[in-house]
């Protein structure tokens, strides 16, 4: 079990580091596709040995399933969260280009923030268009009474001018936020949440999502 846990933590960390470096444009050399994290049936036990246990007590009851999971910036981070949610058996729909017309019977909207020039290009949308899409989606979700969960899980590697363009306007609309602490070293996201009265769970790593996110739906 311990070996599986260590392998999973390493796979998640490597995946985020490689994807973030490749997408944020920090190098002109295309990197190979990052390993897709595979979670075994013991994923829920990740709270042991991580800081997710402290965060797991926060936000209880804010969200309800089913959820609609989307990106805010078209990085691959939302796909990682989708992998975790799928393995934990959470009821959700994943749509990186969702609009209010795609809300369906969702009771919670989850937006994973992280800008990627490659992701935007692949989606056929520019940064301004992406901001407009997410704003329209959030407006539609609020009109239907959905809870809005905003996440930044890419850490320090998912910061920069492009990602930062999405952080403020999206985090300001959150009912609850989950942030990997290394991505908030400058206090940008925690400051927004403090100013807006938004509860924030600061977690040590992406692996802690396995406890912090399900707790929101308890």
**Model pLDDT for residues 155-164, shown as the tens digit of each residue:** 999 999 999 9
Q: How far is CA 217 from CA 86, 95, 110, 194, in A?
A: 15, 20, 12, 22
Going through the chain in order, the beta strands assigned E by DSSP cover 67-72, 92-94, 108-113, 147-152, 176-180, 199-203
Residue 104: pLDDT over 80:
yes
pLDDT value of residue 58: 67
Residue 148: pLDDT over 60:
yes
Q: How far is CA 200 from CA 55, 76, 92, in A?
A: 9, 22, 22
pLDDT value of residue 160: 95
Q: What is the pLDDT of residues 149-201, one digit of tens each?
A: 999 999 999 999 999 999 999 999 999 999 999 999 999 999 999 999 999 99
Q: In the chain, what percentage of residues exceed pLDDT 70? A: 73
pLDDT value of residue 124: 97
Task: Give the mean model confidence (pLDDT) for residues 199-208.
Answer: 95
| Angular region, 177: left φ>0, alpha ψ -120 to 50, beta rest | beta
Least confident interval from 10-19, 93-102, 198-207: 10-19
What is the side-by-side strand order in the sheet with 147-152? 92-94, 67-72, 108-113, 147-152, 176-180, 199-203
Which residues are within 8 A (CB) of 45 and not within 5 positions of it... i.e. 6 or more apart? 1, 5
pTM over 0.85: no
Q: 208 falls in which pLDDT band (50, 70, 90)?
A: very high
Radius of gyration of the chain from Cα atoms? 16
């Amino acid at each position: 079990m311990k070996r599986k846990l260590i392998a999973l933590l390493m796979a998640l960390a490597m995946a985020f580091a490689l994807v973030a470096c490749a997408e944020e444009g920090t190098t002109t050399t295309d990197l190979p596709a990052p390993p897709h994290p595979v979670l075994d049936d013991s994923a829920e036990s990740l709270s042991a040995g991580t800081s997710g246990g402290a965060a797991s007590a926060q936000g209880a009851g804010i969200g309800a399933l089913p959820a609609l999971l989307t990106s805010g910036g078209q990085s691959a981070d939302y796909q990682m969260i989708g992998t975790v949610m799928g393995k934990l058996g959470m009821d959700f729909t994943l749509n990186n280009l969702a609009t209010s017309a795609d809300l369906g019977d969702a009771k919670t909207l989850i937006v994973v923030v992280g800008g990627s020039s490659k992701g935007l290009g692949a989606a056929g949308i520019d940064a301004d268009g992406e901001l407009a899409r997410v704003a329209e989606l959030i407006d539609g979700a609020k009109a239907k009474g959905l809870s809005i969960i905003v996440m930044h899980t890419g850490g320090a590697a998912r910061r920069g001018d492009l990602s930062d363009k999405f952080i403020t306007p999206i985090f300001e609309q959150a009912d609850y936020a989950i942030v990997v602490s290394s991505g908030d070293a400058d206090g940008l996201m925690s400051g927004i949440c403090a100013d807006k009265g938004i509860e924030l769970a600061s977690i040590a790593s992406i692996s802690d999502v396995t406890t912090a996110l399900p707790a929101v739906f308890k």
